[in-house]
Structure 1
Amino acid sequence: MNHNADQCIGSIHSAKAWVWLIFSLWYFVPVYYMPFSGTVYVLLAGVYCVFVALYLWAITLQSRHIWKPVLALTVLAIAITPYTPGSSTFFSYIGFLIGYFYRTRVWVSILAGLALIIGALHFYFSYQFPFFALPALSGLVTISIIGYVERIRTEARTSQLKSRQEIEQLAVIAERERIARDLHDILGHTLSSIALKAELAEKLLTQEKLDNAKQHLSELHQIARNSLSLVRQTVSGYKHRGLSGEVMELCEKLRQNGFIVDLNGDIPQLSPRAETAIILALTELTTNILRHSNGNHCQIEFQQSCDKILVRMRDNGAVKSLIPGNGLQGIQERLNALTGDLQSSISKGCEFVISLPRKELHQQG
């Protein structure tokens, strides 16, 4: 039995138990058209009280224990049938319990067995069909189907709720990973720039070149302020200067460190997510060039094909091997989330090719 149904039957149907018990008063209908002795009246009332207790007990149980009240209710119905055809009412409640708690094969088997019991009781005690067999069979089958359908609906609602919770958890995890990658890329680039500027300023101070040292310290201050702004913009998913502004800034940074920079192609207008991914990728690649490249020339090129947007970044440094670290892995993961890719080559210098689908182009208007 599904554990979700175990949880829901007690919390949902127990709250409505007294409402459904109103229909059990049909048990007393034969009192109006059949003669009973005083002892039988007491017996009927006592049996009804036992029935109510068993029913209320049943709706608090889990499926592995439901056979106990079902068996007890069945025995109770059989035992009181010789005295009143009103016992047919009990079979409706038994039908609901087996329909709600048991899987299809077991449910159908028990349902068939109960129908045979009803048929046997009908013929043995010779009750008229409309007074026992008809209400017993119709109540058993119809109410049992209602219980079965209710179980399916309960499981579906529980499954949907669980799916939504899992999706929300995955979204939170993905967002945390995105922020972690973005901050890693930004802080890695920023700290490298700060370390470089601080080292130069320290050397200039040692050489007592105060004016040059002051200039580097001023640039260090500006880098820190720009980086703080970039961190805030990254967390919110936007970049203040946009892709063009960031590319120009990266080109200027490379030139300040002795690189000749060629910028080719038209910089496209991308969706915010794609723009963020490209900016952080180029920032990480620029940091790698400044750290590891022994070249003096860098080229950044933007291209568009019928189905892709390509961004190439290459330098003429001598690289013998390329071992992807956290930075490159972060770029790859971010691009994969956009159905993009990152390819690298070290045959002639070091070249990286970023590709994104054309659907990431910003749709204006």
Structure 2
Amino acid sequence: MKDFFSSFIEQPFDGLKSWLFFSPMLYSAFYFLAFFFEDFSGEKTALILAAYALYLFLYTAIYLDHKRALIYIAGIILLCIGISSILFSSYALLWSSSYFCGYLYKRKAAIALLAVNIVSAVVASQILSHGNVLFFLLSSILPLVSTWFFGSVGQYFKLDNIIKKQKDQQIESLAQIAERERIARDMHDLLGHSLTCIALKSELAAKLLNTDNIEKAKTEIEEVSELSRTALQEVREAIGNYKKRSFNEQIKSLVAKLHSADIQVSTDLANLKLNAETETALTLVATEAVTNILRHSRADKVHISLIDKYNKLVFTISDNGQIKKLVEGNGIQGMRERIEKLGGKIQFQIKNGMTTEISLDESIAC
């Protein structure tokens, strides 16, 4: 039964850590609206408060156990209908249940559950012992539909973020595969010839030993030894190059990631010899900028440039994305701190996309 209910769920919550946990709860404040218009006996007040406590339990249960959310939503609906006989503002509980239906469930199931909430509001209005039925319906159904829509929009953005994360992971995976293939090709090109020569010379030395041609066999074995040392040195150099790739090589790797996301990239990189500290800082900044482009910008064109301008090194990354406002999170702050530590300046401009521009004194950067 639990699996049956969960099969209709489109997107669960992130548990109590999600900010969405609190937003629908605000609607329930209208539950106490009736207290401003009439006085309740002590027994009725206790019953109303007990019903609200039960609502909070069901509300929290939806977040903690979303697979059984339909049961808890049904509980909220029944609670609303039951308490409406003494509290005309009980309709506020339906707003939360409607939000959950819009956020949690697939479109067809969500629409069906919206209809159930509307029918429940109608039923609750007929149980009212006093109060205006039309006012009850208008006060419950219109906000009910609005909160359902709000929940549906929340689900859309949640799914969109998940798709973006999956795409980022896929891009990262493709980049890793490409890097492994490059290393494999390099190792093949590097060792293929040397190992072939070693094998041939070893076979030749064995044949020469069989014919008692000791001197020639010794010469071949010495050459095998020399080839082995040369191959070992080449492998060590190759590994050292992998550990320390140049700035331009790092940029090429980032460009490959952008290409994997179907983003056109143009580059204008001057052949400048940067010091190690500058290379590291610019590489980290470029990596953060490209990550932000992939995750947030929805750009399809990117330009990366590194130029020497009036004794200043200017590094620029620009895109044609849809960023309207810059929010300086940890990533942006980290970029700023790295560049300012080198005595440089970093600027962000939002116009027809986003441009990140870094300027450093040539005497510091090179």
> Which TM-score tier does this pair reach, normalised by the shorter chain?
0.5 to 0.7
Conserved? CA contact 2:81–2:123, under 8 Å: no
Deviation string, structure 1 residues 38-85 (Cα, Å, up to 9, x no partner): 22111111111111111111111234x221111111111011112112
Shift in CA distance, 84/71, structure 1 to aligned 2, threshold 3 Å:
same
Counterpart position of 1:10: 15
- Give the distance between the partners of 2:214 and 2:76, measured in 1 at CA: 100
Counterpart position of 2:119: 116
- Give the distance between the partners of 1:177 and 1:143, measured in 2 at CA: 51
Counterpart position of 2:25: 21
Does the residue aligned with 2:64 lie in a helix, a strand or coil?
coil
Answer yes or no: is 1:80 the counterpart of 2:83.
yes
Choose 39-48 or 131-140, whichever is displaced more.
131-140
- Correspondences of 1:163-242 after superposition (within 5 Å): 163-184=167-188, 186-201=190-205, 206-209=212-215, 216-217=220-221, 219-232=223-236
TM-score of the two chains, using structure 1 as the length reference: 0.55
Shift in CA distance, 93/165, structure 1 to aligned 2, threshold 3 Å:
same
Deviation string, structure 1 residues 294-334 (Cα, Å, up to 9, x no partner): xxxxxxxxxxxxxxxxxxxxxxxxxxxxxxxxxxxxxxxxx
Conserved? CA contact 1:4–1:158, under 8 Å: no
Counterpart position of 2:109: 106
Instruction: Please report how far the alpha carbon of residue 34 of structure 1 lies from its aligned counterpart in structure 2 after TM superposition.
Output: 1.4
Answer yes or no: is 1:71 the counterpart of 2:74.
yes
Does the residue aligned with 1:34 lie in a helix, a strand or coil?
coil
- Give the distance between the partners of 2:32 and 2:214, measured in 1 at CA: 109
Task: Give the count of matched residue pairs.
Answer: 236
- Give the distance between the partners of 1:109 and 1:20, measured in 2 at CA: 20
Shift in CA distance, 4/223, structure 1 to aligned 2, threshold 3 Å:
farther
Does the residue aligned with 2:102 lie in a helix, a strand or coil?
helix
Conserved? CA contact 1:92–1:140, under 8 Å: yes
Counterpart position of 2:292: none
Q: 1:132 aligns with which of 116, 131, 136?
A: 136
- Give the distance between the partners of 1:131 and 1:34, measured in 2 at CA: 16
Counterpart position of 2:336: none
Conserved? CA contact 1:91–1:139, under 8 Å: no
- Correspondences of 1:1-365 after superposition (within 5 Å): 1=7, 5-6=11-12, 8-10=13-15, 12-13=17-18, 17=21, 20-63=24-67, 65-122=68-125, 125=128, 127-128=131-132, 131-184=135-188, 186-201=190-205, 206-209=212-215, 216-217=220-221, 219-232=223-236
TM-score of the two chains, using structure 2 as the length reference: 0.55
- Give the distance between the partners of 1:93 and 1:62, measured in 2 at CA: 14
Letter in 1 for 2:213: Q
Instruction: Please report how far the alpha carbon of residue 198 of structure 1 lies from its aligned counterpart in structure 2 after TM superposition.
Output: 3.6
- Give the distance between the partners of 2:220 and 2:194, measured in 1 at CA: 15
Instruction: Please report how far the alpha carbon of residue 108 of structure 1 lies from its aligned counterpart in structure 2 after TM superposition.
Output: 1.2
Letter in 2 for 1:10: G
Instruction: Please report how far the alpha carbon of residue 229 of structure 1 lies from its aligned counterpart in structure 2 after TM superposition.
Output: 4.2
- For the aligned residue pairs, the C-alpha RMSD in angstroms reads 3.4
Instruction: Please report how far the alpha carbon of residue 141 of structure 1 lies from its aligned counterpart in structure 2 after TM superposition.
Output: 1.1
- Give the distance between the partners of 1:167 and 1:2, measured in 2 at CA: 30
Percent of aligned pairs sharing the same letter = 28
- Give the distance between the partners of 2:9 and 2:223, measured in 1 at CA: 64
- Give the distance between the partners of 1:136 and 1:88, measured in 2 at CA: 5
Shift in CA distance, 11/47, structure 1 to aligned 2, threshold 3 Å:
closer
Shift in CA distance, 108/203, structure 1 to aligned 2, threshold 3 Å:
closer
Letter in 2 for 1:220: V
Choose 87-96 or 108-117, whichever is displaced more.
108-117
Instruction: Please report how far the alpha carbon of residue 202 of structure 1 lies from its aligned counterpart in structure 2 after TM superposition.
Output: 5.7
Instruction: Please report how far the alpha carbon of residue 189 of structure 1 lies from its aligned counterpart in structure 2 after TM superposition.
Output: 2.6
* Larger CA Rg, structure 1 vs 2: 1
Shift in CA distance, 135/208, structure 1 to aligned 2, threshold 3 Å:
same
- Give the distance between the partners of 2:126 and 2:16, measured in 1 at CA: 40
Deviation string, structure 1 residues 242-276 (Cα, Å, up to 9, x no partner): xxxxxxxxxxxxxxxxxxxxxxxxxxxxxx99xxx
- Give the distance between the partners of 1:228 and 1:164, measured in 2 at CA: 37
Letter in 2 for 1:140: L
- Give the distance between the partners of 1:108 and 1:190, measured in 2 at CA: 69
Choose 122-131 or 160-169, whichever is displaced more.
122-131
